[in-house]
Amino acid sequence: MARRKKEAVKVPSTTGEIKDMLWKSADKLRGSMDASQYKDVVLGLVFLKYVSDSFDERQKEIRIELEEQGFDEDVIQEDLEDIDSYTSENVFWVDPEARWEFLTANSKGRMGDDGKAQSIGKLIDAAMQHVMQDNEALTGTLPMIYGAENIDQRRLGELVDLFSSTYFGSTKERKARDLLGEVYEYFLDKFAKAEGKRGGEFYTPQSVVRTLVEILEPAEGRVYDPCCGSGGMFVQAEKFLEATKRDRSNIAIYGQELNERTWRMAKMNLAIHAISAAGLGQRWADTFARDIHAGTQMDYVLANPPFNIKDWVRNEEDTRWKYGVPPVRNANYAWMQHIVSKLSAHGSAGVVMANGTMTSQSSGEGEIRKNMVEDDVVSCVLALPAQLFRGTGIPVCVWFFDKDKSAGQKGSIDRRGEVLLIDARQLGHMVDRTERTFSDEDIQRIANTFRTWRGRESAEGEYEDVAGFCKSATIEEIREAGYALTPGRYVGMPEAEEDDEPIDEKIARLTKELTAALDESARLDAVVREQLGRLK
C-alpha cells in the first residue's frame, strides 16, 4: 500500500494578518507599474491563492472522510483527484499545475518539458488558464497578464513567496469564502483610493452602497446594475439577504459593464461571494449602445453611473427617452431614464447622481425632470454629505424611483402624488483628512425615514417631517418650486433646541465667563512679557 506523505498543518490567517500582508505585498510591484496594473496583478493572485487554499481544504476533508470509512491509500488518492468530489461542494477544481504549492516550488521559474525556460509569470498565466477551463463559471474572468514584459518576474516571484505565508482556511468563527470576500472588498477600497478619481469607476464607498440597499431592501426578484463596476451593489444585496435571514437564491443578478478589466473584477468578486455571474453577460458592453438585457424587466436597480459623461452613444429615437431626449454632452438623464425604463410594474431603483441633476435647466434637463415628477415615478431624493467619494469633490445625491407608490407590495402607505426629500448633508464623520463615511446609526436613520414614509414592516415608529432633515412634499409643492428637487429647499432649518435659562440669568452668566476669560488672558500676557524681559 502506498504510504501517505505527512503534511504540515496550515493555520488559517486572521483577517488583519492577511490584509496587512497583502497590502504590503503590493509595494513590491508599485515601483515598477502604475496602480491600475498592480491592482489587476494582486487581485488575480489573491483569487488564485484562495481557490487553491479552498481546494486544499476540501482535499483534507475528503481524506478524513475516506480514512474514517477504512479505505486504503490507493483509493483515497484516486478520490482526491475526482473533480466531482469538489464541484459537488461548490469548490473550484484546481489542476495540479495551478495549485499554489506548485507555483511556490517554481517561484523563480523552471525548465519546461521542451527544454525552454518558463518564468513564474508564464506559470501563473497557465494556472489561470487551467482554472478557467476547468470551471465554467470563471470562463473569461481571470487575468492572464503575468508573463508580460512589463511585469518584473523577480518581484513577482517574491510576491508568490510572500503570499505563501497566508492561508485562506475556514475556522469555527468564519468561512474561508467570507474572509476572502472581506479581504477582496478591502483591496478594492484601497486601490480605489490609490487611483483617486479613476478609482470611482469600479468602486462605490460601502457606506453609500449600504444606504441604497437598506432603503430598497431587495428581498426577491431581479436585481440590476447597468454600470456594475466591480459588483459591489450585488454583494451588498446578498449580504442584506443574509443579515435578514432570507434565502440567497431569492434574487437573480443582472449587470453590465463597459470596461473589460472592471468586468473581469466583477466576475471574480461575484465568484468569491458564491453569486452567479451569468447575468453579467458573456463580455463587457456599453449599456447605451447595446443593452444586453433588453426586454428584461427588473424588480430592483442599484446604480452609481459615471457622472456628467460627455461622450456617449446617443440615439434621439431611442424608446428609453420617455421623458425627453437627454442632452448631447451629458448622460446623467440618459442613465436615469434607462433605469426607469427597466423597472417592472412594482420595481424600485436607487441611483447615485451629481447634485446638478436636482436643479439643472440646461439642454432640456429641467423639462425631463418635470416630466418624471409629473409621471409620479420619483419617490425620494437624498442629498449626501461632501467627501463620501475620495478623489472627487463633486457633491452627490441619490434619486429613488418607484413604478408603483400605492399601498401594496412595497409599503402600506399610499404615497402617490408625494416625494420624500431627505437632507443628510450633516450626517457622517471624517475617517481622515479627505474622506467621510456614514456610521451604522446614520445609515439606519436615513433608511428608517424612508421605511416609515412607505409604511414598511421593517420600519420602526411612524413617519414625521423633521425640520432640517426630511419632508414629504406634494407634487403641487414641487411644481410651485419650479420642479427643483434640492432637499434643503423643502426641509427648512432644523428647530433650535429649547432653552429654559431665563435671559437675565444667561446674560449674567455669559458676562461672568467672558470677564474671567479676559482676566486670564491679561494674566498670561503679563507672564509672557516678564519672560521676554529676562531674555534681554
Q: What are the pLDDT digits (tens) for 128-153?
A: 999 999 998 888 889 999 998 888 89
Query: Helix, strand, coil % (nearest 5) of the chain?
Result: 45, 10, 40
* CATH 3.40.50.150 segments of the chain: 202-491
**Which whole-number Å values give the CA distances from 475 to 180, 416, 483, in the listed order?**
47, 9, 9
Kindly report the length of the chain: 536
> Which residues, other chains included, contact 419 with Cβ-Cβ below 8 Å and sequence gap of 6+?
373, 378, 379, 380, 381, 472, 473, 475, 478, 485
> Which residues, other chains included, contact 369 with Cβ-Cβ below 8 Å and sequence gap of 6+?
333, 357, 360, 483, 485
Q: What 3 state SS string does 313-339 have? A: CCCCCCCCCCCCCCCCCCCHHHHHHHH
Mean pLDDT score of the chain, rounded to an integer? 88
Asked whether residue 360 carries a pLDDT value surpassing 80, the answer given is: yes
Report the CATH fold assignment for 202-491: Rossmann fold (3.40.50)
φ/ψ (deg, to 5) at 314: -120, 125
Asked whether residue 310 carries a pLDDT value surpassing 80, the answer given is: yes
What is the four-CA torsion angle of 369, 389, 200, 483, rounded to 10 degrees? 0
Report the CATH fold assignment for 15-187: Ferritin (1.20.1260)
52 contacts 168 by C-beta, under 8 angstroms = no
* CATH 1.20.1260.30 segments of the chain: 15-187
**pLDDT given at position 87:** 86
User: Which of 40-54, 281-295, 510-524 is predicted least confidently?
Assistant: 510-524
**pTM for this one?**
0.82
454 contacts 216 by C-beta, under 8 angstroms = no
Radius of gyration of the chain (CA): 29
Mean of pLDDT values over 88-93:
87
Asked whether residue 285 carries a pLDDT value surpassing 80, the answer given is: yes
Q: Can you list the alpha helix ranges (DSSP code H) found in 31-119?
A: 35-68, 73-80, 84-87, 100-105
> Which residues, other chains included, contact 431 with Cβ-Cβ below 8 Å and sequence gap of 6+?
437
Asked whether residue 201 carries a pLDDT value surpassing 90, the answer given is: no
C-alpha triplet 279, 87, 233: angle, nearest 5°: 30
C-alpha triplet 359, 290, 353: angle, nearest 5°: 20
Among residues 307, 403, 290, which one has the least CA distance to residue 351? 307
More confident residue, 80 or 370: 370
What does the alpha-carbon distance between residue 370 and residue 373 come to, in Å, rounded to a whole number?
5
